Structure 1
Amino acid sequence: MKRLRTVTLLAAAVVALLPTSARADVTYPDPQPVTGRQIIHDPTVMRLKSGGYVAYSTGGVIGARTSKDRVHWDDAGNAFAEPPRWWYEYNDTGDPWAPDLFWRDGRYWLYYAVSSWGTNHSAIGVATSRTGLPGTWTDHGKAFSSETTDHWNAIDPAVVRADGRLWMTFGSYWTGIRMVELDPATGRAIEGATVHHLATRPDEPYAVEGPEIVKHGRHYYLFASHDVCCAGVNSTYRIKVGRSTDITGPYVDSKGTPLLEGGGDLLLAGHGRYVGTGGQSVFRDRGRDWLAYHYYDAEDEGTPKLGLNALTWQKNGWPVVR
């Protein structure tokens, strides 16, 4: 997990610059028990059309895990045998981050980021596969990118359909969470499309990243990770959520505070051995929603591991982790 080794010391230093995170709350549920290959970071999980599950993650050449029952996970190598050459424009190790898995039009679509720590010279790539399994992906190059002159950072992609259109949320630090419309034919950002602003923090370093949008009822729910990842037991990641009736916002929390003003209901925070819960995604399995995320195991030297919990919805529409 090259990114983690590279940034641990830097991330730990940043902790001191951030607002104090929520105190541990024993009412947060533990992740469901999993076995096998538990080590993972920034997981995206899906139940495949062929049966069984696949999870892709930061680390390796987009690290892969497979499971038959969502409980026992096996190491399945990497999405790609080797990094596409264009990745090296963004870091000298060809190291991809934070993938997102999406199904549409008879194919699996895999979005991922390539960048270096501390810069927004970044790009989001896109690949497709008929099976969704590691080793079957065809890379199609950049879907979207950012440069140091931009006010956003093109990493942490997540794709969602809304009203017959295709959208991609992304963002990390800088000005927070953004969104751009995609061309369904290519899976890439529409040239000249508006870059919408969905969420940020009021103070530098604007530590919000890893967006995920889910439609439930008449609302779109924006999940995001706040504070610091990648620092082992010193990580302060926690997951917050807001909602909107319009895919492009404005998103607010249950008290009406805009996510553009630092709002967000706390959905899941570290507790006990489960430190720094974040890097989340949501997937559907047999009619139920599930939250996938990583946590740092305080009883195993801060090793990042897979967290899975059922995601249920209250009568008022707001999500709860079970």
Structure 2
Amino acid sequence: MFNRRLMLQSAVAVGVTSATGLMAETVAPVSPELKGNLSPVHDPTIIKADGLYHLFSTSQMREAPGLIHWRTSKDLINWDFKGAVMTAFPDWVKTELPETRGAWAPDIQFHNGLYRLYYSLSLFGKNTSVIAMLTTPTLNTDDPAFSWKDEGVVLRSVAEDHFNAIDSHLFIDDDGRQWLSWGSFWGGIQLAEADPATGKLKQSVRKRRNIARRPPPGAVEAPVIIKQDGYYYLFVSYDFCCRGLESSYYTVVGRARKVTGPYVDDQGRKLTEGGGRRVIHADMDVSGRFKGPGHVDILRDEGRDYIVYHAYDSENRGRPTLRIKALHWTTDGWPEVRSGAL
């Protein structure tokens, strides 16, 4: 079976953060104004810490200076390259997945005094995969307490499994319960309860729930869950990334009254049956410059919501590039990105 990461090397390569509330109508689209180090950015995740925005993204071993690239911004517009989270894989990776060459699809969350950075390891074109985790008490590298600690494996999948252990996202509910979603191809998107004390699964992976899937060869991956006005919203990416300007990636959303689903779109179609309300798609780009927008994260910041994603830049040899847009809400409670330049 095709895995979206199969093409990632040749392509060169949301986590929910603090604050909730509706997007102010006066917020202008962000993407056209983005400046600085914006590429290559693939599978971005974002969080705000001490007034600074931190963005982490997929990287390969051959990409200096290391694995999981790290960028920062004071204003969401001007971005600086900070470095990499890891200069090499933890020793256990050499045994677990000796052929892996990249750290994919990070997800950054903060809980109980620790930043938890989930990331994925896999073999190209296979569901032999691992979701792992790093932690640090601070993202301030000048703080003596700063240090990324290897927390090992969160969950794994093998060829016999009907899921793929990549593209994780941790959602923390109002009652403190935590839920890990993940998946790509191989049965679609899965959900299981996580232990707040460890950030790892609280229950056997066999008790997971399937919350989104599409009939083959339809692709669904990269889940993000947020909560708004009593509904849970599940964002997922459809079709194919990692093909440069030929990428057909786009993002849809469904909502449910329970975090476990069922998630449905505005037409009542279930996401477990291929439904989904479109949120962002290349044909919304009036400039025609950016292709395959997807693998989103949602930033909730001081009453404003943003969708953070990658897209392939036709004016820069199809390189995966950071994009950020204001996320608005319709009167009937659906998130949307308004047409314009992506």
Could you tell me which amino acid in structure 2 is paired with residue 210 of structure 1? A
Could you tell me which amino acid in structure 2 is paired with residue 287 of structure 1? G
Q: With the length of structure 2 as denominator, give the TM-score of the two structures.
A: 0.83
Task: Output the CA distance in 1 between the equivalents of 2:273 and 2:229.
Answer: 25
Within 5 A, what are the aligned runs for 1:75-90? 75-88=81-94, 89-90=96-97
Deviations 1:52-87, CA, capped at 9 Å, x for gaps: 111000014111111121111111111123211223
Within 5 A, what are the aligned runs for 1:1-322? 6=9, 8=11, 31-39=31-39, 40-48=41-49, 50-59=50-59, 60-88=66-94, 89-133=96-140, 136-162=147-173, 163-193=175-205, 194-202=207-215, 204-270=216-282, 271=285, 272-322=288-338
The share of aligned pairs that are identical, in percent, is 42
Task: Output the CA distance in 1 between the equivalents of 2:180 and 2:317.
Answer: 35
SS at match of 2:80: strand
SS at match of 2:269: coil
Task: Output the CA distance in 2 between the equivalents of 1:198 and 1:192.
Answer: 17
Q: Tell me, yes or no, if the aligned pair for 1:37 and 1:73 is still in contact at 8 Å.
A: yes
Task: Output the CA distance in 2 between the equivalents of 1:261 and 1:277.
Answer: 22
Q: How many aligned positions are there? A: 300
Q: With the length of structure 1 as denominator, give the TM-score of the two structures.
A: 0.88
Distance change (3 Å), C-alpha of 1:106 and 1:44:
same
Q: Tell me, yes or no, if the aligned pair for 1:123 and 1:154 is still in contact at 8 Å.
A: yes
State the Cα distance separating 1:31 from its structure 2 match: 2.6
Distance change (3 Å), C-alpha of 1:276 and 1:316:
same
Task: Output the CA distance in 1 between the equivalents of 2:51 and 2:176.
Answer: 27
State the Cα distance separating 1:300 from its structure 2 match: 1.1
State the Cα distance separating 1:4 from its structure 2 match: 5.3
Q: Give the equivalent residue in structure 2 for 1:13.
A: none
Deviations 1:201-228, CA, capped at 9 Å, x for gaps: 12x1340000000101110000011001
State the Cα distance separating 1:44 from its structure 2 match: 0.3
State the Cα distance separating 1:8 from its structure 2 match: 5.0
Distance change (3 Å), C-alpha of 1:160 and 1:5:
closer
Q: Segments of 4+ in structure 1 off by > 6 A?
A: none
Task: Output the CA distance in 2 between the equivalents of 1:312 and 1:113.
Answer: 30
Q: Tell me, yes or no, if the aligned pair for 1:7 and 1:117 is still in contact at 8 Å.
A: no
Could you tell me which amino acid in structure 2 is paired with residue 143 of structure 1? V
Task: Output the CA distance in 2 between the equivalents of 1:153 and 1:222.
Answer: 18
SS at match of 2:116: strand
Could you tell me which amino acid in structure 2 is paired with residue 158 of structure 1? H
Task: Output the CA distance in 1 between the equivalents of 2:192 and 2:32.
Answer: 34
Q: Tell me, yes or no, if the aligned pair for 1:166 and 1:182 is still in contact at 8 Å.
A: yes
Q: Tell me, yes or no, if the aligned pair for 2:45 and 2:57 is still in contact at 8 Å.
A: yes
Unpaired stretches in structure 2, ≥5 consecutive residues? 13-28, 60-65
State the Cα distance separating 1:5 from its structure 2 match: 5.1
Unpaired stretches in structure 1, ≥5 consecutive residues? 10-28
Deviations 1:246-285, CA, capped at 9 Å, x for gaps: 0010000000000011000111001301100001111111
Q: Tell me, yes or no, if the aligned pair for 2:181 and 2:192 is still in contact at 8 Å.
A: yes
Distance change (3 Å), C-alpha of 1:299 and 1:102:
same
Q: Tell me, yes or no, if the aligned pair for 1:87 and 1:94 is still in contact at 8 Å.
A: no
Q: Tell me, yes or no, if the aligned pair for 1:34 and 1:71 is still in contact at 8 Å.
A: yes
Q: Tell me, yes or no, if the aligned pair for 2:30 and 2:77 is still in contact at 8 Å.
A: no
Could you tell me which amino acid in structure 1 is paired with residue 150 of structure 2? D
